[in-house]
């Protein structure tokens, strides 16, 4: 899986090569190993990057992640293709993942009515949490994964009732 990141005016290509037992990424072909030592809170973790230990603070603000590491603050812009494509597809009945991950929170239930942009799920991928929003108004037909359940790239996360269904 490849992700495009930009920070401090530069763009990078991040490729995930392994997820377990540690996260192994290639950033513009330079391989790094990242292991989480332990979390102090949702925003603060101790991590090890290629054997060096860091305390990392991170806050998600839309598609921007604010990161404080090693006494420096960075903003990282993450292209969230899944959220954008879901918001742009007003007629689709399926919300699919564009990356592997895990469901960490379900914000609604099957049978519930949603408006465009309503939060449906929070998923986690690469230690970042992403809120999956309703692409259009409708009724939740099925939520395909429960909390703490892993899914693969391309998996159908949520099905909406067809916009032609009359109930």
What is the length of the chain?
Answer: 167
Walk along the chain (167 residues) in steps of 10 and give the mean pLDDT of each run: 73 78 83 83 84 87 80 74 45 82 93 91 83 89 93 91 64
Domains of the chain (ranges, CATH numbers) = 2-78 (3.30.700.30), 81-160 (2.40.50.100)
User: What kind and span of H or E run contains 55?
Assistant: strand 52-61
* Non-local CB neighbours of 37 within 8 Å, separated by 6+ positions: 45, 46, 47, 48, 53
* Non-local CB neighbours of 164 within 8 Å, separated by 6+ positions: none
pLDDT value of position 88: 42
Strand partners, 150: 102
Q: pTM for this one?
A: 0.49
């Amino acid at each position: 899986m490849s992700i495009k990141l930009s920070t401090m005016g530069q763009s990078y290509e991040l490729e995930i090569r392994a997820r377990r037992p540690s996260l192994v990424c290639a950033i513009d072909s330079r391989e790094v190993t990242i292991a989480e030592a332990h979390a102090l809170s949702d925003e603060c973790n101790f991590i090890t990057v290629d054997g060096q230990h860091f305390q990392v603070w991170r806050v998600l603000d839309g598609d921007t992640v604010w990161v404080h590491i090693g006494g420096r603050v960075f903003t990282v812009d993450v292209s969230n293709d899944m959220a954008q494509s879901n918001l742009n597809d007003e007629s689709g009945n399926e919300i699919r993942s564009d990356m592997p991950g895990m469901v960490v929170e379900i914000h609604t239930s099957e049978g519930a009515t949603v408006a465009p942009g309503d939060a449906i799920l929070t998923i986690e991928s690469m230690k970042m949490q992403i809120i999956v929003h309703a692409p259009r108004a409708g009724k939740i037909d099925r939520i395909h994964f429960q909390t703490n359940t892993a899914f693969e790239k391309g998996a159908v996360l949520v099905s909406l009732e067809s916009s032609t269904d009359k109930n």
